[in-house]
Structure 1
Amino acid sequence: MSSFLTNSSSTTTPSASTGQELINDITLNNPPEDSISDLSFSPQQDLLAVASWDKKVRIYEIDSNSGQNQGRALFEHDGPVLSARWSPDGTRVCSGGTDKQVKLFDLASQQSTTIGMHDAPVRAVRYVECGPTNTPIVVSGSWDKTLRYWDTRSPQPVTTLQLQERVYSMDSSQKLLVVACAERQISIIDLNQPQQVFKNTMSPLKWQTRSVCCYPQGNGFAIGSIEGRCAIQYIDDNEQSKLGFSFRCHRKTPGQGGPGNGTNSSALRSASANSNESHIYAVNSISFHPIYGTFSTAGSDGTFCFWDKDAKQRLKAFPMVNATIPATCFNKSGAIFAYAMSYDWSQGFQGNRADYPNVVKLHGCKDEEIKQKKKR
């Protein structure tokens, strides 16, 4: 089988879509049976963890040359799983869900254990390295408005941080941990001093936060909202004043069509006086490329795009996939981009049809799609 990484259609204008770019994308075998909530590649090898509303976390082994894949492991919660992430050494997966539990799964023994509990559903988990000794810790953010750090050897949290609101999204990179909460609240934590919040701030976006993702360098983060906007943020105030900005994405205005501007009915709609409607879609997922530092956004419009924040330009728009995209991630080399096609609840329970797909696709990334363009 020829490599799906090099076999996808090319285009002379990489930022435009020909409609053929996804034709060779590989479908993950034996996918979840309900909506997909999180995707995470191992930082050590091509193993993909998939969290789902069917109460399970599945781990798949992927051949990076052919895209061929098979199930490697599976573990369960007592309710829908909302987040699953790998340990830095790739030996374990932590997870959290609506059963309020934080679990840890060991790949070698194939055993999962409950290492922590919250008072409300656990929205996000991350494996982080704290302090000057880089102590490995599982951190969990919950709708109980707390952030809790777990040493896997103790049932009690090492530290509990009281937050201003419920946790909606969370990410970490290097010694940066960013927690995006309800009411547009953002808590920034320096993992050298994890027991305190470094800075509380408000999202620069006007509407509810949907996703956050830290830059690989750990000096800032991108944040996406339900109003089809993304903001580029830096921790240092000087960097922020020079380099920070926000931009529109995943929208469709009258007369527009094509990639990045889908037309499904899950859009938020804002009508102007002459009743021309703009369709505005949630930015569900942001993922940074581990090598180039460029990034993807994916939304309720059923499209994903690749961007370069430093050049402030869109690198590539992809055609619609005919389902909302709730989660995405790159593998450790950035050669594979995984995206989930399943219902994101943006249209309420009415939109959750029995025939809605629950699929994970693997897209082989080419440099002309994702690498920064040379300045003219």
Structure 2
Amino acid sequence: MASAVAAATGQELSNPPSDGITNLRFSNHSDNLLVSSWDKTVRLYDASANVLRGEFMHAGPVLDCCFHDDSSGFSVAADNTVRRLVFSSNKEDILGRHDAPVRCVEYSYAAGQLITGSWDKTLKCWDPRGASGQERTLVGTYPQPERVYSLSLVGNRLVVATAGRHVNIYDLRNMSQPEQKRESSLKYQTRCVRCYPNGTGYALSSVEGRVAMEFFDLSEAIQAKKYAFKCHRKSEAGRDIVYPVNAIAYHPVYGTFATGGCDGYVNVWDGNNKKRLYQYSKYPTSIAALSFSRDGRLLAVASSYTFEEGPKTGLPFFEPDAIYVRSVNEIEVKPKPKVYPNPPARQLKPTSIEGHTIRS
């Protein structure tokens, strides 16, 4: 029975967080996995070996985390702090602070900077190479129209999604003002934004069970290609039940992407051909976060209740938080070639050239 469950969901990691998982990220250099949680910890796992390599304690719930390299990473928390994690010594230090809980963190290899987004309605860029202390590491502070909910990077481009359905697009080489200011094409609150790996646009998900596919190029021809689609929904007793789409993760090889919703399902999509490629077996509870490994062989899934039905204390039963690491088969993520229908047979008419009959 256990092996059948593992085949359906993937291997469950030992020593998971004890409270809601907020994010998980694979390293760009190994199968190390970084996990942030409401239990005030960041955990470092070797996902292939199913071993907990390190644990970092914080003063408040940890809302996001990311790698710098395989020797260090960063985390942000509800205690308003931005922290640097040193894996070899299992120690962390405070890099800087915001004036409210810090929701998002991304490290830009293109700019050599750390970017953090906070509920204080600001974006901050940091130079992590300097000594600890805000004055020596803060590069700039950039006001946002509302609380920052999600960030994504591709090359020098940064996409910032905030409350109020605002989307700001920046060039990291000139942060004085956004390149573009947009409003989400979805009607309700944004949950996640992720840039296309090819740098041409971004996917945006919301609480309404939809994903919007957007493009940076503002030309009429390119904007005509954008679209939105419904997902993570079901019909029950004649009515639609709609689930928030919490997570989006792109496959590093094929450019297809996975979405995770509060329905407990992970779906894989081919955005170019507007098709769903695969749906994995249902997980015990909401999908809080997703991450593909650097080579796309593994997919980490955070199955963690996201309070869409209220506090846990009001529920008769809830599943414990868990992290699953599943092997990815090519058939699940590789786009299928387009199959064109056979054209109708053309009626051929006799034609005479120099007394010879041919068919054209």
Q: Alignment partner for residue 182 of structure 1, among 163, 167, 183?
A: 163
Specify the alignment match of 2:358 in structure 1: none
Deviation at 1:305, TM superposition (A): 0.2
Partner of 1:93: 73
Q: Identify which of 73, 78, 84 aligns with 2:65.
A: 84
Paired residue for 2:193, among 200, 205, 212?
Answer: 212
Separation in 2, partners of 1:200, 1:295: 25
Amino acid at match of 2:226: G
Q: Which residue of 2 aligns with 1:321?
A: 283
Q: Are 2:47 and 1:36 aligned?
A: no
**Structure 2: how far apart are the matches of 1:243 and 1:316?**
23
Shift, 1:106, TM fit: 1.7
CA shift for structure 1 position 243: 2.3
Matched position secondary structure for 2:125 = strand
1:139 matched to which residue of 2? 115
Q: What amino acid is the match of 1:111?
A: K
Aligned equivalent of 1:235: 216
Separation in structure 2 between the aligned mates of residue 79 and residue 252 of structure 1, nearest angstrom: 36
In the aligned structure 2, how far is the partner of 1:248 from the partner of 1:21? Answer: 29
Whole-angstrom distance in 2 between the partners of 1:288 and 1:137:
22
2:245 is matched by which residue type in structure 1?
V
What CA RMSD, in Å, does the superposition of the two structures yield over aligned residues? 1.9
Cα deviations by residue, 1:85-111 (Å, 9 ceiling, x for unpaired): 112x33321110100000011223332
Change (3 A) 1:356 1:237: same
Task: Name the residue aligned to 1:162.
Answer: 143
Change over 3 Å in CA distance of 1:193–1:310 after alignment to 2? same
| Identical amino acids, percent of aligned pairs | 38
Taking the aligned partners of 1:201 and 1:351, their CA distance within structure 2 comes to 39
**Counterpart in 2 of 1:366?**
329
- Indicate the SS of the match to 1:243: coil
**Would the aligned equivalents of 2:123 and 2:144 in 1 still touch at CA under 8 Å?**
yes
Aligned length: 330
What amino acid is aligned across from residue 279 of structure 1 in structure 2?
I
Return the match for 1:172 from 117, 138, 153. Answer: 153
Deviation at 1:253, TM superposition (A): 1.9
Write the deviation string for residues 246-272 of structure 1: whole angstroms up to 9, x where unpaired: 0000011247xxxxxxxxxxxxxxxxx
Equivalent in 72, 87, 95 of residue 107 of structure 1: 87
Structure 1 residues 155-204: Cα deviation after superposition (integer angstroms, max 9, x where no partner): 23210000000011111121121111001011111122234321111000
> Do residues 124 (structure 1) and 104 (structure 2) align?
yes
Please tell me whether residue 251 in structure 1 is matched to residue 233 in structure 2: yes
How far has the Cα of 1:24 moved from its partner? 6.1
Unaligned runs of 5+ in 1: 1-7, 10-19, 256-275
Q: Cα offset for 1:350? A: 4.7
Considering only CA atoms, is the larger Rg found in Structure 1 or Structure 2? 2
* Deviation per residue, 1:6-39 (Å, 9 max, x gap): xx99xxxxxxxxxx89426101111001110000
TM-score (norm 1): 0.84
Alpha-carbon separation, structure 2, partners of 1:352 and 1:125:
32
Q: Which amino acid aligns with 1:248?
A: K
Question: Could you say what secondary structure the match of 1:368 adopts?
Answer: helix
| One-letter amino acid matched to 1:372 | P
Residue from 267, 270, 276 that aligns with 1:308:
270
Partner of 1:55: 40
Cα distance in 2, alignment partners of residues 300 and 355 from structure 1: 13
1:17 counterpart residue number: none
Asked if the contact 1:343–1:352 (Cα under 8 Å) also holds between the matched residues in 2, the reply is no
Separation in 2, partners of 1:244, 1:303 = 25
2:127 alignment counterpart = 151
Whether the 8 Å contact between 1:281 and 1:299 is mirrored in structure 2 is yes
Q: Contact between 2:9 and 2:281, CA under 8 Å: does it hold in 1?
A: no
* d(CA) in 1 for partners of 2:81, 2:162: 19
| Alignment-mate amino acid for residue 37 of structure 2 | S
Q: C-alpha deviations, 1:18-71, integer Å up to 9, x for none?
A: xx89426101111001110000000000100000000000000122xxxx3101
Q: Secondary structure at the match of 1:119?
A: coil
Higher relative contact order (CA 8 A, sep 6+): 1
Counterpart AA for 1:345: F
